[in-house]
Chain A
Amino acid sequence: MTPRTLFDKVWDAHAVLTRDDGQTLLAIDRHFVHEGSFHAFGMIDHAGRAVRRPDRTYGVADHYVPSHDRRRPIADPEVANMVEMLRANTARHGIRLFGLDDPRQGIVHVIGPEEGLTLPGLTIVCGDSHTSTHGAFGALGFGIGASEVSHVLATQTLWQRRPRTLRITVDGAPGPFVSGKDLILSIIAAIGAGGAVGHVIEYAGSAIRALSMEGRLTVCNMSIEAGARAGMVAPDDTTFAYLHGRPNAPTGAGWDRAVAAWRDLATDAGARFDREVRLDAADIAPTVTWGTSPETAVPVTARVPDPSAEPDGRRRAQIVEMLDYMGLAPGVPLAEVAVDRVFIGSCTNGRIEDLRAAAAVLKGRKAAVPGLVTPGSTPVKAQAEAEGLDRIFKAAGLGWGEAGCSMCVGMNGDLVAAGERCASTSNRNFPHRQGQGARTHLMSPAMVAAAAVTGRLTDVRRLMEGA
C-alpha cells in the first residue's frame, strides 16, 4: 500500500463520497457550537430542518460568559441574550450544553480534550477558527463559518476539497523557558501569516514529541495564525496517558481496541507531503510579537524593526502602519517597551500547565501593572485553586476570574483600553482585537508573567537568573 500521512488516514476514513470535481463529503464525528452559532441555528430553523446527530453535537458557553460575576441576570442585556440563545437552541434540539453553571464549562478548545470528547482520528468542527487546537490529539479539527455549521447540524457532514499537506519538523532541545508558544510563534514568523493557506500541517520532530499535551495544544491552536486549515500531531503514549480515564474516553477492552487503532494513525515511513519545513528548537528564544500580525514574532532580545531597511514599498508601508498602531519607534530594544496590562488565559494558554508556568514566575513577586488571569475551564480553575496558584496571582496583584474567552476577544466586556499596551498569552494581535485601539504583544505565560513583574517586555530567562 502507498505510505500515507496521519492526515491522509483520517481524511480517507471519513470520506463518505468523492465527486469527480474533487469535492469530498466528509463525515463529522464531533461538532461544537457556542454562543456565536445563533446564525446557524437560525438557518436550520428557517429551512425547517432537524439536527441530524444531537448526540454528536455539544454546546459550550465560552465567548460571552462573564469573568467576574456569574450571578444572573448578566448585566449587559445583549451579552445575556447571546448566552440565553445558546441555551434555548441547544435545549430545543436536544444538544448537551456545557452552560454557565456547569462545573465542566470552559473554552470549547479546552474542554473538548478535558472531557475526552477530543480523541485521535476524529473529525472535529466548530464555528471557530481555533478548532485546529484539537489536532494535538491526531484528530482533524478545523474551523467553519455559520453556513457550514448549519450544514453540519442538518447533515453531520461537510463538502471539502482535500487540502495539501505540510510537515513542519522541529528537532533539537529548546533552551530554558522556551515553550510550545515560542515554538509556534517562531514557526509562524518563519512561514508567514498566510504561509500555510490551503494546507494541513503535521508537526513532527523530537521537540514536538517532547511537548506535553498542553504544549501540543498550544502549537496546534495557532496553526490558523499561519493560515493552515488544521494542525496535527500523531498520537503517542503522551496522548494516551492524557486521555485515559477522561469522562468520554473509551474504557476496558474498548480502550485497548481504540489505542491499537490510534497507534496506526501515525504517518507511514516514506509518506509524501506537499511541502516540508524544518526548524531547530535550539535556535528558538522566548518570543514576542511587535506588530499587528502573529507573523511579527521575534526573539525578545531583538529590536523593533526599521521600515527603512525594507526594500519592498508595500511591505515598508505596512511596517510603518503597524509601528504607528503599536506606538513603537524603529530600533528600540523590545525589552525596553513598557506595558500597561497583562492577560493570562485563552484557548492558547489557559490550561493548568500554562497557569503553573506563569505562577512559577510570579511566586513571591509583585506585578508592576494590573492584569487578569482567567482559567481555560472551570476544572482548570478548580485544579489551580487546589494547587494554590490563584493565591500566587492574587498576592502579585492580578485578578483571578472565571473560565471563558475573556480578554482574548473582549466579547464579555473584558477589554483593553484604547492606547493601552497588553502583554497577552492569547493568539491574535490584530488591530483592535482586545479592544478599540488596544496594542497586543503575544507571548508565553512565563513571558507575560515576567512582563507583569517588571512592567515592560522582559526576557524571562534574565528575570529568573539566579532566582
Chain B
Amino acid sequence: MTPFVTLDAVAAPLPVANVDTDQIIPARFLRKPRSAGYRNFLFADVRKAGFVLDRPEWAGAGILVAGPNFGCGSSREAAVYALVDAGIRCVVAPSFGDIFAGNAGKNGLLTVTLPEATVGGLLDRLAAAPGARLAVDLPAQTVTEADGTVHAFGIDAFRKQGLIDGRDDVDVTLAHAATIAAWEATDRDARPWV
C-alpha cells in the first residue's frame, strides 16, 4: 500500500456525526471492481447541492474533518477505497468505527482521533476559511493548522508503523508461521471439538 508519512492538504469540514459506511459508499456499488473508479461512488447518495467536496473552495481536498463515530456501520472496506480513490488520505474525527479505522490503516488512509472540542473548533475554523490547509505529521503525531496551532494525537504503534512503512501485515505474520503451527497443535488437544 501507499505509505503515509506527512501530508499538507486542503481540509474539508463535514460537521456530521455517525457518518456510516453506507453513506460513504452505497451498497449498489459494492459489486463493482476497484477498477470501476470508486471515487465516483463516494458519498453518492448524500451529495446534495453544495456538498462540501463539490465546492470549488475545497477542490482537491486531501483531508476530511468530521463528527464523532465516523465510518460506523457496515465493514465494507470499499468505503476506504472510495475515500482514497477520491484523494482523501486523512480523516480527523473525535471517534471512528473500529472496523473502518482498521480498514483505513491497511490502505494508507490515516485516521486521526482528536477530542470532540478540538474537532469542533477545527470544523468552525475550516468552514470560516474555505480552502484552508492542515499539515499532518505521522511520525511526530501532530496536526498543524495554518496559524501554527499544533494538535498532538495518539495512535496505536503497530498501525502507525504499518502506515509509515506501507507494510503488508501478512508478511509480518508469516514470519511467525512456526509459532502459529505450534499453537494449533496444542489447541487440537485442548479443544478437539473445534
Which chain A residues border B120 with CB–CB below 8 Å? Answer: 314
Cβ A27 vs Cβ B46 within 8 A: no
1/0 contact trace for B165-188 toward A, CB 8 Å? 000111011101101100110010
Contact of A128 among B75, B95, B103, B187 (CB under 8 A): B75
Cβ A119 vs Cβ B30 within 8 A: no
CB of B42, distance to nearest CB on chain A (Å): 14
How many angstroms from the CA of A17 to the CA of B172 in the assembled complex? 13
Cβ B45 vs Cβ A155 within 8 A: no
In the complex, whether B41 has a CB less than 8 A from a CB of chain A is no
Question: How many interface residues does B have (CB within 8 Å)?
Answer: 58
How many angstroms from the CA of A151 to the CA of B106 in the assembled complex? 11
Q: How many A-B residue pairs have CB under 8 A?
A: 174
How many angstroms from the CA of A146 to the CA of B28 in the assembled complex? 17
In the complex, whether A78 has a CB less than 8 A from a CB of chain B is yes
In the complex, whether A19 has a CB less than 8 A from a CB of chain B is yes
* A17 touching B176 in the complex, CB below 8 Å, given contacts A119-B194, A145-B106, A432-B26: yes
Which chain B residues border A19 with CB–CB below 8 Å? Answer: 158
CB of A20, distance to nearest CB on chain B (Å): 9
In the complex, whether A227 has a CB less than 8 A from a CB of chain B is yes
Cβ A258 vs Cβ B98 within 8 A: no
Cβ B34 vs Cβ A39 within 8 A: yes
Within 8 A of A (CB), among B1-57: 15-18, 20, 22-23, 26-28, 30-32, 34, 45-46
Cβ A16 vs Cβ B179 within 8 A: yes
Which chain A residues border B75 with CB–CB below 8 Å? Answer: 127-129, 143-145
In the complex, whether A284 has a CB less than 8 A from a CB of chain B is no
Which chain B residues border A17 with CB–CB below 8 Å? Answer: 176, 179
CB-CB nearest in chain A for B45: A432
In the complex, whether B60 has a CB less than 8 A from a CB of chain A is no
How many angstroms from the CA of A411 to the CA of B77 in the assembled complex? 16
How many angstroms from the CA of A128 to the CA of B21 in the assembled complex? 12
CB-CB nearest in chain A for B20: A430
Which chain A residues border B76 with CB–CB below 8 Å? Answer: 36, 145
Which chain B residues border A249 with CB–CB below 8 Å? Answer: 193
Cβ A430 vs Cβ B17 within 8 A: no
Cβ B31 vs Cβ A82 within 8 A: yes
Cβ B80 vs Cβ A155 within 8 A: no
Which chain A residues border B183 with CB–CB below 8 Å? Answer: 16, 27
Within 8 A of B (CB), among A185-211: 193-194, 197-198
Contact of B30 among A197, A411, A433 (CB under 8 A): A411
Contact of A39 among B45, B68, B77, B179 (CB under 8 A): B77
In the complex, whether A399 has a CB less than 8 A from a CB of chain B is no
